[in-house]
A = this chain, B = another copy of it.
């Protein structure tokens, strides 16, 4: 069989080999993007699930509508409006199978083959591949410590005034952990307006802030209906249930709903009902506060371990999210570093995995601190330190 051009463009990368499940049970993985199972409200969910089976199974197991379970849509919309100032008259919300699907549906509804999308470089590989899967041309703008560099964005627009979209993770960016400051967000929106581009704001980590002050979402400043906001229940409830959402101007949500209908008809209805009842009955913010405490501790353990084991390596302590981004000195290849680290029984993701240029060089690696225990973090980072020492010893 001959495959489509768009899917042929999704090449399996050398990185996959590094990320394959380790055969050695002693291996510590800092390569995941997973929340901790300790952060799942499983006991509360179990009670609600039993109730749904007892009283509402006929509806919860039946076909639903593509835009999502009405009460969950309303509750989610209300939550982001009150907490984050997101959503105006003219906006609508669709429940998606994770924020991943929000990105994919937005791409499908807005982009033609050959269109240009500007994004951070590095950025989340799942979204880059979703865009690539529609034959889109990616133009990367470096992150300079505070998210996408806005001078770089302006240059990118000048070189590609035809760009249809800016894809950004402004808050606790994946993989760098960086936060785009308020002024930069405003400037991004101005530039998008000037060049008449849509903005896809991917914001799954917003609620996982460990220090500092919230920075308003770009969508909260969107008076023109230019921004598509993608959110997720994966990091605040659980990822295996595959629930997220997109909030955008109603005509676009209608198109994304048509695209969702032909993709999976609707997201798992049982868990849509379950999450709505969880939010109605329990204090989601109190639950998130517990998740923050859990992850803050792990982030601090990782920071301390890096200080002990990896002198000479650079990193910023992220104020939130799941990832810490280390930059290796002296031209060390991040891919080579991660390959050797795996031999020493610790896994990390090489920075090159996140580049818009799939063959590009990166001297960085992404470390996850949410899934491993503090002990595993200590062990893992000490092994990374040994790898680093090996590579830098004369």
- Whole-angstrom distance between the alpha carbons of A34 and B65 in the complex? 12
Tell whether, in the assembled complex, residue B46 and residue A4 are in contact, meaning their CB atoms are under 8 Å apart.
Answer: no
A42 within 8 A of B: yes
- Evaluate contact between A98 and B265: CB separation under 8 angstroms: yes
A262 touches B129 (CB 8 A): yes
Please tell me if the beta carbons of B61 and A126 are within 8 angstroms of each other in the complex: no
Contact A264 B49 (CB under 8 A): no
A133 within 8 A of B: yes
User: Which of the candidate stretches A108-116, A328-336, A376-384 sits at the interface with the other chain?
Assistant: A108-116
Copies in the complex: 2
Tell me which residues across on chain B come within 8 A of A1, comparing CB atoms: 110, 198, 225-226, 249, 251-252
Q: How far is the CB of A372 from chain B (nearest CB, A)?
A: 14
- A361–B108 Cα gap in the complex (Å)? 30
Chain B residue with Cβ nearest A113: B113
The CA of A19 and the CA of B97, in the complex, are separated in Å by 25
Q: Which residue of B lies closest to A12 (CB)?
A: B258
Q: Which residues of B contact A5 (CB under 8 A)?
A: 112
Check A109–B198 contact: CB distance below 8 A.
no
A270 contacts chain B at the CB level, 8 A cutoff: yes
Chain B residues near A216: list those with CB within 8 A: none
Q: Give every chain B residue within 8 A of A317 (Cβ-Cβ).
A: none
A238-B61, A239-B62 known; A130 vs B262 contact (CB < 8 Å): yes
Instruction: Pick from A52-60, A84-92, A297-305 the stretch touching chain B.
Output: A52-60
**Given known A-B contacts A3-B255, A112-B5, A50 and B46 have beta carbons under 8 A apart:** yes
Contact B97 A97 (CB under 8 A): yes
On chain B, the residues within 8 Å of A126 by CB distance are 261-262, 265
A134 to B3, CA, bound (A): 14
Contact with B along A1-34 (1 / 0, CB 8 A): 1111111001010000000000000000000111
* A363 at the B interface (CB under 8 A): no
Q: How many residues from A make CB contacts under 8 Å with B?
A: 75
On chain B, the residues within 8 Å of A45 by CB distance are 53, 57, 61
* Residues of chain A in range 218-276 having any CB-CB distance to chain B below 8 Å: 225-226, 234, 238-242, 249, 251-252, 255, 258-259, 261-271
B37 touches A57 (CB 8 A): yes
Q: Is A174 in contact with chain B by the CB < 8 A criterion?
A: no
Q: Is the CB of B240 within 8 A of A101?
A: no
The digit string for A96-128, where 1 denotes a CB below 8 A from any CB of B, is 111011001000111111000000000000100
Interface residues of A (CB under 8 A from B): 1-7, 10, 12, 32-35, 37, 40, 42-43, 45-46, 49-50, 53-54, 57-64, 96-98, 100-101, 104, 108-113, 126, 129-130, 133-134, 164, 198, 225-226, 234, 238-242, 249, 251-252, 255, 258-259, 261-271
Give the 8 A-B CB pairs with smallest separation, nearest first: A37-B58, A46-B53, A97-B264, A61-B238, A42-B57, A240-B269, A130-B262, A268-B268
